[in-house]
């Protein structure tokens, strides 16, 4: 190229239209986009910048490799020769890898939040400690019960809740922990508490909470249950179920296992009932005005008979329990705690089958229910008398939990 002098000024040459060279920033953006598209298709794709008619051979903008061995024609030829079926397998594997990575990142974020809470003195509560020697589990199932519900507890022990050695074996071999959840009376150490102590020593299937029992304290009890369970077991899921609900443990664990790779899931039968503003009625919401005009409905939340949350959500409740607001209804309270978070709401209708003939017909059709109850009673009507018959009609069989894939 001839040198330019002051005496021989040359007019500036403009690049022809359609062949304008890309800026360095544009090249980087294009390369990144091409890489991620290639990653989804094959996991072995090289990024090349588009050829430019103005770019001289060997110039910096003609080729930008991301990997030294990933930019050759062999990789591109292999992708072209792959069948659609092989490509879909690669996409599926990549999707699973991304889900696993997302869960790992979420777990690290939660551990960071825990450490920050510890360093800042916490929020007045104990916080869960990951990797601190807690027993590992797949799921912790907490059965909400009351002092007056011994017959209900016995009806569950006679049907779907294992006893004694079977309960211990279920924990050891399948990672399924089942406990009746109860606090203490207003006068700790009284007759009610002593009765539970005697029952617990015989059955070893209780989780005792630092909580004063009371019908209007269910939201506080739920909050304390999750905090206590997270501090006791390192599980993938934490379930709350009422003691007048029939559960098929094998089907429940199989349903939960579908979401094991996802970091923040809230699973249940999602509903949206009316906000009751009339004093004296059942489920009266004292803070009805917070939900808008009269006649409005609650936001979507899982019905209170049974629901599950993943580890990170239970840890979130544990860390923040002193500042989590309690509404009149326990299921609404839980829904409110999770509403503003990046949470996946899973509406699983197998968790709210009706009692026979509904769950019986579904079982005969090969669709075994995970949980059954009567909507009219917010549980199984006369559950002590009917639990055995429902178990016989809708139960999955005693061996189902042992063959469930977890």
Sign of CA dihedral 88, 94, 97, 103: negative
Residue 302: strand, helix, or coil: strand
Residue 188 has pLDDT above 70, yes or no: yes
Distance CA 123, CA 77 (A): 58
Q: Which stretch of 271-285, 304-318, 357-371, 391-405 has the lowest confidence by average pLDDT? A: 271-285
Question: Phi, psi (5° rounding) for residue 344?
Answer: -90, 115
Per-residue pLDDT reduced to its tens digit, 202-253: 999 999 999 999 888 899 999 999 999 999 999 999 999 999 999 999 999 9
Strand partners, 240: 142, 307
Q: Compute, in degrees rounded to 10, the torsion defined by CA atoms 54, 58, 61, 64.
A: 150
pTM above 0.85, yes or no: no
Residue 262 has what pLDDT? 87
Region 100-104 average pLDDT: 60
Region 349-373 average pLDDT: 97
Residue among 22, 31, 14 at smallest CA distance from 59: 22
Distance CA 144, CA 207 (A): 10
Residue 392 has pLDDT above 60, yes or no: yes
Distance CA 261, CA 99 (A): 6
Question: 222 Cβ partners below 8 Å, 6+ apart?
Answer: 144, 240, 330, 333, 334
Region 82-96 average pLDDT: 68
Q: Which stretch of 130-139, 238-247, 292-301, 350-359 has the lowest confidence by average pLDDT? A: 130-139
Residue 278 has what pLDDT? 83
Per-residue pLDDT reduced to its tens digit, 7-29: 444 444 444 444 455 555 555 55
DSSP for 301-320, written as a single string: EEEEEEEEEEHHHHHHHHHH
Residue 238: strand, helix, or coil: strand
Rg (CA), the chain: 29
Residue among 202, 137, 134 at smallest CA distance from 170: 137
Give the residue, 112 or 173, on which the prediction is more confident: 173
- With vertex at residue 348, the alpha carbon angle to CA 152 and CA 262, rounded to the nearest 5 degrees, is 110
Q: Which helix (H) or strand (E) is 113 found in, with range?
A: helix 84-119
Residue 236: strand, helix, or coil: strand
Sign of CA dihedral 249, 254, 257, 259: negative
**Domains of the chain, earliest start first:** 136-270+302-403 (3.90.550.10)
Residue 22 has what pLDDT? 52
The two structure tokens encoding residue 29 = 């953006």
Question: 365 Cβ partners below 8 Å, 6+ apart?
Answer: none
């Amino acid at each position: 190229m001839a040198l330019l002098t002051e005496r021989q000024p040359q007019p500036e040459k403009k690049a022809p239209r359609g062949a304008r060279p890309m800026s360095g920033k544009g090249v980087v953006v294009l390369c990144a986009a091409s890489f991620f598209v290639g990653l989804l298709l094959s996991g072995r794709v090289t990024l090349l910048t588009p050829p430019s008619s103005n770019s001289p051979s060997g110039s910096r903008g003609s080729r930008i490799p991301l990997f030294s061995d990933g930019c050759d024609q062999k990789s591109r030829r292999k992708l072209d020769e792959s069948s659609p079926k092989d490509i879909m397998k690669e996409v599926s594997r990549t999707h699973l890898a991304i889900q696993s990575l997302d869960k790992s990142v979420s777990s690290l974020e939660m551990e960071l939040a825990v450490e920050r809470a510890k360093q800042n003195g916490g929020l007045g509560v104990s916080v869960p400690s990951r990797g601190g020697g807690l027993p590992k589990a797949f799921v912790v199932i907490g059965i909400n019960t009351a002092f007056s519900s011994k017959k209900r507890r016995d009806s569950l022990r006679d049907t779907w809740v294992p006893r004694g050695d079977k309960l211990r074996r279920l924990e050891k071999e399948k990672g399924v922990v089942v406990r009746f959840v109860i606090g203490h009376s207003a006068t700790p150490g009284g007759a009610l508490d002593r009765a539970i102590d005697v029952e617990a020593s015989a059955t070893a299937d209780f989780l005792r909470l630092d909580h004063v029992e009371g019908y209007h304290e269910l939201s506080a009890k739920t909050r304390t249950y999750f905090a206590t369970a997270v501090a006791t077991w390192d599980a993938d899921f934490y379930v709350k179920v009422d003691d007048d609900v029939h559960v098929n443990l094998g089907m429940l664990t199989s349903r939960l296992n579908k979401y094991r790779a996802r970091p923040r899931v809230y699973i249940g039968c999602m509903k949206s009932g009316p906000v009751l503003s009339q004093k004296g009625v059942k489920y009266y919401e004292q803070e009805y005005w917070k939900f808008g005009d009269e006649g409005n409905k609650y936001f979507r939340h899982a019905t209170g008979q049974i629901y599950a949350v993943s580890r990170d959500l239970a840890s979130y409740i544990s860390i923040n329990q002193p500042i989590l607001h309690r509404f009149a209804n326990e299921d609404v309270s839980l829904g409110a705690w999770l509403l503003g978070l990046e949470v996946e709401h899973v509406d699983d209708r197998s968790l709210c089958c009706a009692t026979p003939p509904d769950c019986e017909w579904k079982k005969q059709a090969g669709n075994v229910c995970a949980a059954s109850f009567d909507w009219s009673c917010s549980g199984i009507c006369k559950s002590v008398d009917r639990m055995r018959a429902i178990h016989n009609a809708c139960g999955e069989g005693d061996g189902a939990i042992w063959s469930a894939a977890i």
